Amino acid sequence: MELENIIKTTTKIVKKNLKSHLIESTALLAESTPVFAANETAFAKMPVDVSMHARIWAIGLTFAGMGIAYAKGRDCYRKLFHITDRTSERIQSLNDAIYTGLFNLVVAPPIYFVSGERDPKKIALGTLGSVTLGLFNGLPLGYSVDVYRDLTGLKDCERPSYPDILKRQDPKTKKGLAALVTAGTIALTAGIYAVAQRR
């Protein structure tokens, strides 16, 4: 009987962690994929196929564990600096920006290299763009994680700027909104590549 309880408890923990991982990873990718596609094709002047490979690698790595690393690292970073959902948006934004910039500094160069880019200048520009984007994109990326957690029922978002109209929606509507946002970012990324391909 005790072994059965251990198995049930372990299964419950694994399911909860897997759900959390999938939601947080989707949140990160929904927000960042179109932004990075635009950075790589417009600023770093990478060919569309290299940028697409970089995004595919990023998606694969995110679902393989990099999403957990980012989300859990962000949670630890916030605890270290005593940041909560009720902390002022300005402080939350600053911390999300710094954390995301540092994270991108570490992960961008290897992703560009395995994606086929060998020109050190383009890798450096892509990384510089990634770090800069991280500094500016940290707020929306962190916000995206918090919003997706709320929309999917993982954790209520208590950020002061989170609209009450979203907080009041029923779980089914919230999940539908999360799916709609995800589909929208996929369409936006496809549009960015279509425009870049014509150049």
Taking the C-alpha atoms of residue 77 and residue 92, their distance in angstroms, rounded to an integer, is: 11
Three-state DSSP string of the chain:
CHHHHHHHHHHHHHHHHHHHHHHHHHHHHHHHHHHHHHHHHHHCCCCHHHHHHHHHHHHHHHHHHHHHHHHHHHHHHHHHCCCCCCCCHHHHHHHHHHHHHHHHHHHHHHHHHHCCCCCHHHHHHHHHHHHHHHHHHHHHHHHHHHHHHHHCCCCCCCCCCCCHHHHCCCHHHHHHHHHHHHHHHHHHHHHHHHHHHHC
Q: Residue for token digits 């919003």? A: 147
- In this structure, the chain runs to a length of 199
pLDDT at 1: 56
pLDDT per residue of the chain (199 residues) written in tens, 0 to 9: 587 887 788 888 888 888 998 999 999 899 999 998 998 898 888 899 999 998 998 899 899 988 888 888 988 999 999 998 888 888 888 888 888 888 888 888 998 888 888 888 888 888 888 888 778 877 788 889 899 999 999 999 988 889 999 999 999 999 999 999 999 999 999 999 999 988 7
Per domain, the residue ranges of the chain are: 27-198
